[in-house]
Structure 1
Amino acid sequence: MRRFAAVLLDMDGTLVDSDAAVERAWLAWAAEAGVAADQIIPRMHGNPAPTTIAAVQPHLDPAGVERAAARQLELQYGDLDDVVPTAGAARLLVALKELDLPWAVVTSADRRLALARLGAAGIDPPLLVTVEDTPRGKPAPDPYLEAAARLGVPPGDCLVVEDSQPGLDAGRAAGATVAALRGLDGDVRLGDLGDLADLLTVESR
């Protein structure tokens, strides 16, 4: 670890525990679309909906992908019953405030869904970058480059925190240091966000 100028956090699975809601929506969409569950399960986390849909339904034209993605999002908007902060999230947010460290949420969700899930979890980020804010979503670097630019921080001075391979790929492509959850391979490996709170606090001393 070293000192960073900003922390850029993924939302689903990283800052907000929405796994069950994400999976319910994708499996419901797959059943409607006639897509086998084993095709959708490996792809349901980390990518924007159009990317996933284009991968499992390559016969669709761009308009068809857009319609399918809109339907998939509709299945997610109202499903907030078990959406909560992830383990250690509260400690991390306190640490970021105490350290006066700029941070942002960078998500593959659209703004409506991001605000709904963050609201359900009681989290109000100072900056929110969604899939609607850049021409390309994760795993392209665009979302993290956009967040760094809005914070006025060089991407190389940012720490990206992710729980999926597409997100980690996006952070690396942006030139940031990446911290990985869920046993994934990052520059820093975290058990939960409380670990990150401890690391940032120690490094600031």
Structure 2
Amino acid sequence: MDGTLVDSTASVERAWGRFADRHGLDAAAILAVAHGRPTIEVVADFAPRGVDVVAETDRIEAEEIDRTDGISEVPGAAALLGSLDPSRWAVVTSATRALTLKRLAAVGIPLPKVLVAADDVTRGKPHPQPYMLAARALGYDATAAVAFEDAPAGLTSATEAGAATVVVGGYRGEAAAGLPRVPDLTGVRVVQVGPGLEVRLP
């Protein structure tokens, strides 16, 4: 969701900045690895000894749910999803279910019939489990899917699940090497080809 359907960069950076300030941490170090990963895993990696990781995670999530200012639709996201059969697409995110639904609704993006959120997995991105679960819920194997991702954890998760993966945005690190790329979802189309569907990039 974040970075592919919803531009929440400013909101996410503010949330991690507040966390860093509370605990005397380096916000830049946190942000370097936080994008696309479950909040609780990042908190566990950085929280000082003695901090209640679950309580801190709940606080960060509550702050983000309450503050939707500064988030916007990634261009083309609503149009693309609105053109699709709801039974053929899913949202796979490291955000919680509550935060995902709040952000999608806030920017006018259709809510998914299939949502795999941080609450639904035992191993989050970059592990392939989230994409494998989503594909199964749609009735397909992940190797039949096309995934759109913007951050290293998500790109690794999708490619290791076997999905054809498209980079959205400007990330150019190792996880994006050799993958097709779009700046946003403007002009991305899905067309019927024989019995299946084909994703066409601008």
When normalised by structure 1's length, the TM-score is 0.83
Letter paired with 2:136: A
For residues 1-205 of structure 1, what are the structure 2 equivalents within 5 Å?
11-57=1-47, 60=49, 64-97=52-85, 102-123=88-109, 124-184=111-171, 185=176, 187-197=179-189, 200-201=190-191, 203=198
Once residues 167 and 187 of structure 2 are traced to their aligned partners in structure 1, the CA distance between those partners, rounded to angstroms, is 11
User: How far apart in 2 are the matches of 1:66 and 1:94?
Assistant: 36
**1:16/1:86 contact within 8 Å kept:** yes
Identity of aligned residues (%): 40
Q: How far did 1:79 drift? A: 0.7
Root-mean-square deviation (CA, aligned residues, Å) is 2.2
Structure 1: segments with no counterpart, 5+ residues: 1-10
Alpha-carbon distance, 1:83 to partner: 2.3
Q: Distance in 2 between matches of 1:204 and 1:114?
A: 24
Count of residues in correspondence between the two structures: 189
Q: Following TM superposition, by how much is the alpha carbon of 1:195 offset from its aligned partner in structure 2, in angstroms?
A: 3.8
What letter matches 1:49 in structure 2?
Answer: T
Distance 1:15 1:114 in 2: 10
Q: Is the 8 A contact 1:39 1:56 kept in 2?
A: no
Matched position secondary structure for 1:179: strand
Q: Output the CA distance in 2 between the equivalents of 1:148 and 1:118.
A: 20
CA contact (8 A) 1:45 1:164 kept: yes
Cα deviation, residue 118, structure 1: 1.0
| Counterpart Cα distance in 2 of 1:204 and 1:24 | 35
Partner Cα distance (1:131, 1:38) in 2: 23
Q: How far did residue 163 of structure 1 move?
A: 0.8
